Amino acid sequence: MRGLFITFEGGDGSGKSTQSALLVEWLEQQGRTVVTTREPGGTELGEELREIVLHSRGHITPKSEALIYAADRAHHIATKVRPAIDCGDIVVQDRYLDSSVAYQGVARGLGAKEVRDVSLWATDGLLPDLTILLDLDESVGRDRMSSRTKYDRLEAEEREFHATVRAAYLDLAAAEPGRFLVIDATEEVPEIAANIRDRVAALLG
């Protein structure tokens, strides 16, 4: 039996880590085997690429940035995600190709279709069964992250950049309503978790 591929998307500070952990806990209580992962960084190679693309010094051109993410994605899907799904496991992942479309395709100006096409080629067309978009105004997200002393390359971008990313995410969700679950990330944590569980339970049958 094929497993499920569930991804979390959203701007910085939207609560992806919190909600992902709550969903994994619930799934495991249902007796399901869950694989948790993230992009970039879900494999050893991915951790090296994550360090390069998010934390290395010096300028990285937008195309280079997009291609590093695509390289990580190709390896990650082939070696970790697809094998887990094929075994019947549930993969819960922090970020996937929609992040690349929003951040590099739209906010970096590379073209949403172009970046999406590269990711689909890199992953042999794999799309999530469910993408949970935690929608949050970028200024609220920044306030939630105010205690951080260091930001990565994307987190450090200006407010306008993150506003563009948010708008891009909402456009993606509107274009694929069957795949996306859009949730107001200002709602209470238990309420958000319950909404997510309801949607996932429907997928599980």
Residue pLDDT, tens place only, 162-182: 999 999 999 999 999 999 999
What CATH number is associated with residue 181? 3.40.50.300
Is 13 within any annotated ligand binding site? yes
Is 16 within any annotated ligand binding site? yes
Is 94 within any annotated ligand binding site? no
Q: Which residue has the tokens 């906010």?
A: 107
Is 14 within any annotated ligand binding site? yes
| SS3 call for 69 | helix
Domain count, the chain: 1
pLDDT of residue 157: 73
Q: Which of 97, 121, 94 is nearest to 35 (CA)?
A: 94
Q: How many CA atoms lie less than 13 Å away from 43 in the CB half-sphere?
A: 15
pLDDT of residue 109: 97
In percent, how much of the chain has pLDDT > 70?
Answer: 96
Is 10 within any annotated ligand binding site? yes
Pick the residue with more confidence: 148 or 112? 112
Per-residue burial over 9-29, b = 16 or more CB atoms within 10 Å of its CB, e = otherwise: bbbbbbbbeebbebbbebbee
Provide the strand spans (E) within the chain: 4-10, 34-38, 90-94, 130-135, 180-184
pTM of the model: 0.91
Is 11 within any annotated ligand binding site? yes
**What is the rounded CA–CA span in Å between residue 28 and residue 121?**
32
Handedness of CA 155, 156, 157, 162 (dihedral sign): positive
Q: Which of 114, 123, 125 is nearest to 71 (CA)?
A: 123
Above 80 in pLDDT, residue 147?
no
Is 205 within any annotated ligand binding site? no
Given a contact cutoff of 8 angstroms between Cβ atoms, the answer to whether 96 and 39 are in contact is: yes
For 52-103, what is each residue's pLDDT tens digit?
887 777 788 999 999 999 999 999 999 999 999 999 999 999 999 999 999 9
Q: Domain span at residue 49?
A: 4-204
pLDDT of residue 18: 96
Counting DSSP H helices and E strands in the chain, the numbers are 9, 5
198 band by pLDDT with thresholds 50, 70 and 90? very high
- Contacts of residue 174, Cβ cutoff 8 Å, sequence gap at least 6: none
